[in-house]
Structure 1
Amino acid sequence: MANQDALSQAEAICQTLREEDDGVRREVLAHAGSRWSLGILHALGVYGSMRHAEIKRQMTGVTQRMLTKTLRAMQRDGLLLRREFGDIPPRVEYELTPLGMELLVRMSPVWMWVVENAEEFRASRRAFDVAPSERDPTVDIFVQVYGVVCVGEHGLRHVFL
């Protein structure tokens, strides 16, 4: 029943949002689903204030342009601060705001859930990617009846209703 209570509470909050809040909600939630935003949150949360190049070293695969764009979007939404120092050459550092730290803390359980269930996700993908003629007919029946099935290393493990 706790899940239903949480869903009811979330629905009640959604009902209070104004139409103009919809864009903000979507844009801020995009940070929670962005690999670059999450990586930046994590790096700044773990290491504290960092320069652009230091963040880039922590973010395997991010381009200079994408990092700059992501940092600016996060700064705009109040998730991080950009501090300019009067040094020569110029020096800029980024740090999490309390709002950014709160997002990081709230996302941590989701990250842990993904890591804990990584094998389930991989098994489900393997089962889905198998050609229908090669699949266990039981899987197709469960998919037709219930919509989603997770196949683990020992066969059918979970059916999500």
Structure 2
Amino acid sequence: MDARVTFITLAVAEVAATRRFYVDGLGWEPEFESPGEVMFFRVAPMVTLSLWSASQFEAEVGPIQTGPGIPPLTLAHNMPDRGGVDQVLAAAAAAGALVSRAEEREWGGYSGYFSDPDGFRWEVAYNPGPIGVDLLRAAGIT
């Protein structure tokens, strides 16, 4: 198996609320949508984010682990500068997200977080290191 990811699937409690956040709030366009069941967003040339009804997720994949705390993963959105980080966090807040203010990080970058309606955390980051620069270059962002 080669090292690549083509789909990231997140189980969501209410697809309509998730749609309001991502489509109406953040302005994303679904590539595919089955109302009340699933939405696909192309987030990179070869990566699709799938937001799938929790009940249908469980029927196919198995029981979802629940409990207090933050889901043990983050999704990340890199920006070419600190101002872009602040703009994305402001847009997420306007869409109804819980936002933690961006700050300078020990690793040399600048980042903050927001949560979608199901508590999935998005990191919005400016990463001036080689991997951050390379990822933006590959995405056509300089």
- TM-score normalised by length of structure 2: 0.24
Structure number with greater Rg is: 1
- TM-score normalised by length of structure 1: 0.23
Which structure's relative contact order is higher, taking Cα pairs within 8 Å and 6+ residues apart? 2
Structure with more strand by fraction: 2
Structure with more helix by fraction: 1
